[in-house]
Structure 1
Amino acid sequence: MEIKNLYRPYELELLETDSYTAKPHRNTFFEMVFTLEGTGVQIINEHELPYTANKFFLIFPEDKHGFEVHDLTRFYFIHFTDSYLKTQSDQWVKKMEFIFHNHNHLPGCILKTVTDKPLVRAMVEALIRETSNLYPQHNQVLEQVMNAIITIAARNITLQQRADIIKQPSATTLPLLNYIHENIYQPERLRVEHMASCFNLSPNYISEYFKKTTGESLQQYITGYKIKLIETRLQYTDKRMGEIAYEFGFTDESHLNRIFKKYKGENPTAFRKKYAELNN
């Protein structure tokens, strides 16, 4: 299995081809792909789905993926590494976290709204134009457009999640999960009494129902989700342990260490060090 690496924080590439078959491979970086024109098949983790023009794909590190081109296709690739993520604002990293933990890693366009497809296309075309010139603030413009595209990706994953909720015959649990995800940085909003009030349910009922339908208590799920987000912090930011503990509502660094080790079998420092060693 071929493994591809990226040696700069981000890289933009326009590829036009009519006879291209990308053998399944894995990246050590993140990838967004927009098809400006053409037809073919996208493959992710051994799942296949046809593509046409104006499709937008997300590919994550360690995803096994490739493309088969049937007709002349213009791909636009946006590659970026974890070092690029570390240069961005906390709010932007949180948008990325939403994508990490809610995307299904299956093939197919993630743009679910009619208006977002021409919007992303216009942004991609702007990246193509901007790449060809060296005007002042060139890099800042590129990064801002890239981040706007990622924000649109997060929005569409949110919309898809809500559409899936509507399709459920019994849809109480998924709105609860969505509420937890949206308020994970505000501990007071995650108290069972506050959640029960928001959903017009009794505290006892909401706790019992959540446990019955998910197999976990509310507190177990909330803590487990925090641990997933903390893993992202440890992998893709340089935040100190004390900062992470404060951000996620732990009393102090030792409290964070104890809970993280309980869930992951190692303390946060060891987890971060292991990840860094694997990616050097």
Structure 2
Amino acid sequence: MLIKNLYLPFEIGIFETDTYTAKEHKNTYFEMFFILEGKGIQVINQHQLEYAPNKLFLIFPQDTHGFEVIEKTTFFFLRFNESYLKTQDREWLKKLEYIFYNHNHLPGCILKNTEDKPLIRALAEALTKEQKGQNLYKQEVMQQLINTIITIAARNIALLETANQYHPTQPLSVLGYVHQNIYFPNALRIEKLAEHFNLSPNYMSEYFKKQTGESFQHYINSYRMKLIETRLLHTNFRLNEIADEFGLTDVSHLNKLFKNHKGINPSEFRKFANVDRKANETKI
């Protein structure tokens, strides 16, 4: 299967066609498509769904995806890779946790808030206009607009997950609490979770395992390690910064937990990931 790479931190553009059928392929970068005009079918990981104007789609690295155009379609696309993420601050990256791990990687528009649809359209048009111009601070303005689009996407994915928040019988409300407090170990004790949902600790433990198939502690450890993998892959944060961010005692604590999870220490994981990325780039 074809693998596509992005050699710039970000790329935007408008693509219009009435006969295009994109073969399924994988990217090594994140990609968003906003449908300005047209109709067709989007395919992600062998799942299909129709698309129409004012729909925003999110493609993850390593997702297989393609489009089948039924009516003449105008796509706005935004692509960004790990080098772009490395330019962002930590608080902004935290907003992306919903994008990285709480999305279902299925086809379909990610905009739950309908008021965001004209906003995304306006931002796409502003980005396209800015790119064609030669105004002062062009790159800085484009970066702010791109970050706004990404943040709106993260907000909507958060809305998709938390639509059932505050309903004690819904598992997503429990997972939402875990995701929102992953950086605060004291808030992730089973007693704190039980207190938050007005349940006994024993019942909460049983309920969590029944809904997720995992013990409470195993889920927390797995989720934390996935986020740490993201830091290692997509940022230049030092190991002591990552350990501090997730409330771990020190780098030794981080090394121990990560090695138990992946079989190698964080430094080795980051090194091998960079080698694999360069190897993929040579194939294009």
TM-score range, shorter chain: over 0.9
What does residue 249 of structure 1 align with?
Answer: 247
Partner of 1:161: 161
Give how far 1:112 is off. 1.4
Q: Which amino acid aligns with 1:232?
A: T
- Normalising to structure 1: TM-score of the pair? 0.94
**Which amino acid is 2:189 matched to?**
R
Describe the superposition over 1:68-120 as per-residue Cα deviations: whole angstroms up to 9, x where unpaired: 11222111110111000000011121122221101111111111122111111
Using the alignment, how far apart are the partners of 1:82 and 1:208 within structure 2? 39
| 1:23 aligned onto 2:51 | no
Corresponding residue of 1:88: 88
> Structure 1 vs Structure 2: percent identity of aligned residues?
57
Check whether the contact 1:86–1:237 (CA below 8 A) recurs between aligned residues.
yes
Find the counterpart in structure 1 of residue 188 from structure 2: 190
Give, in angstroms, the shift of residue 54 of structure 1: 0.8
> CA–CA distance in 2 between the matches of 1:271 and 1:244?
14
The structural deviation recorded for 1:267 is: 1.1
Q: Number of paired residues?
A: 277
* Separation of aligned partners in 2, 1:173 and 1:108: 22
CA distance in 1, matches of 2:260, 2:106: 31
Q: Distance in 1 between matches of 2:35 and 2:255?
A: 44
Letter in 2 for 1:19: T
Q: Is the 8 Å Cα contact of residues 112 and 160 (structure 1) preserved in structure 2? A: yes
Q: After the TM superposition, which residues 195-206 of structure 1 pair with which residues of structure 2 at under 5 Å, given as runs?
A: 195-206=193-204
The letter of the residue matching 2:101 is H
1:28-67 aligned at under 5 Å gives the runs 28-67=28-67
Q: 1:11, CA displacement in angstroms?
A: 0.7
Whichever residue aligns with residue 195 of structure 1, its letter is L
TM-score by length of 2: 0.93
Structure 2: runs of 5+ lacking an equivalent: 279-284
> Conserved in 2, the CA contact under 8 Å of 1:97 and 1:232?
no
CA distance in 1, matches of 2:136, 2:211: 55
After TM superposition, the structure 1 stretch with the greater mean CA deviation from structure 2, 83-92 or 187-196, is: 187-196
Is 1:270 the equivalent of 2:272? Answer: no
Q: Does 1:213 align with 2:211?
A: yes
Which residue of the partner structure matches residue 228 of structure 2?
A: 230
Alignment of 1:126-165 (within 5 A): 126-163=126-163, 165=164
Root-mean-square deviation (CA, aligned residues, Å) is 1.6
Matched with 1:180 is 178
Q: Structure 1 segments of 4 or more deviating over 6 A?
A: none
Q: Residue 282 of structure 2 corresponds to which residue in structure 1? A: none
- Secondary structure at the aligned position of 1:279 is classed as helix
Q: Deviations over 1:21-50 (max 9, x none)?
A: 111111111101111001111111111111
Q: How far did residue 191 of structure 1 move?
A: 2.2
Q: Which runs of 5+ in 1 are unaligned?
A: none
SS at match of 1:72: strand
Cα separation, 2, equivalents of 1:89 and 1:253: 21
